[in-house]
A = this chain, B = another copy of it.
Amino acid sequence: MEIKRPYLLFLGDVKDSLAAKTGLGIVDWRRDWCLGQYRLPGCMADAKIDDLSIAEAAEMGAKTMVIGVVNAGGVLPDHWIDSIVDAIKAGLDIASGLHMRLGDVPAIRDAAERHGARLHDVRHSTMSFATGKGTRRPGRRLLTVGTDCSVGKKYSALALEAEMRSRGMNAEFRATGQTGVFISGRGVALDAVVADFISGAAEWLTPENQPDHWDVVEGQGSLFHPSFAGVTLGLLHGAQPDAFVVCHEPTRTTMRGVGHPLPTIGQVIDLTRACGRLTNPDIRCVGICINTAALIEEDEARALLSETAEEYELPVTDPVRFGVAPIVDHLRMEFPV
């Protein structure tokens, strides 16, 4: 299951940075796992790390070439296949978050078989999970939840892991989406698991652990999102978090991809507690992360954060702008070692 490191990031010839966001996210959070980037002529994205050829990367010890791009249909352009086959021939494994499976391309499948390379399609789980049991297990867990999709749940979880580790806490990021899997080198894309096994997969991902160990679990969707709330609930039940952090984007008026209004932060806290109690009666909210990027003036951003802190009597921060220290302070108070 583990994706071998270090990585060579393949950015292809994508037309902008957004199309390479998976690769750029890996560099943001795991700079030292990335030996370099391999770009085709015309590539408009730049992860600001060394440009390497496949031969150079292989010589320097690269173990996996990660297809660090996203595109609308999730398909693999034909003119990338040669590069992938070359990487396999050079001894690298390949990891992809595209919808299309690597092994469905005959040239890639054949090369992988011939050279013993592993093909990781992180969007497709090849694992079998048990159904969730809901039994309490040792170790502590923190889950990020959201008022919507794409409001910073992965970013917040990674920032929390980094802050907790910097204080010597035993914290481990647990990935539940494709970019997160590359960043942690393991994990499971929960949205690709068969429905019956959502909470079972979340239990597998956050197993029994030391009493002082924190799994910091990347949330998915929102309990209030009509497309994905089932995944959110299964993850909540399976992760049985002791603590959760609500993530929010204050300028959004309707939920991503649908016409529904955003819930309030308070509604998310209440429903997360009401549902989470099923597998962890002591579940509690320990903070709120707000993306204030749209508020250019820092004063304005700080005002919003302190208003929200007062309303909910919780630490509130923008993890990108101000870090997550206040939340970790509060977490340590709520869960003394």
Interface residues of A (CB under 8 A from B): 131-135, 190-196, 198-200, 223-224, 226-235, 237-238, 257-260, 271, 274-275, 278-279
Contact of A226 among B228, B274, B278 (CB under 8 A): B278
> Using Cβ atoms and an 8 Å threshold, which residues of chain B touch A258?
133-135
- A231 vs B132: C-alpha distance in the bound complex, in angstroms? 12
B227 lies within 8 A of A230 (CB):
no
Contact of A133 among B192, B227, B274 (CB under 8 A): B227
Contact of A229 among B135, B199, B271 (CB under 8 A): B199
Number of copies: 2
A278 lies within 8 A of B224 (CB):
yes
Q: Which residue of B lies closest to A230 (CB)?
A: B234
Give the 8 A-B residue pairs with the shortest CB-CB distance, closest first: A134-B226, A230-B234, A191-B196, A230-B230, A198-B230, A131-B227, A132-B227, A233-B233
* Cβ of A100 to closest chain B Cβ, rounded Å: 14
B131 lies within 8 A of A257 (CB):
yes
A195/B191 contact (C-beta < 8 A), A131-B228, A258-B133, A259-B135 known: yes
Contact of A234 among B133, B194, B229, B237 (CB under 8 A): B229
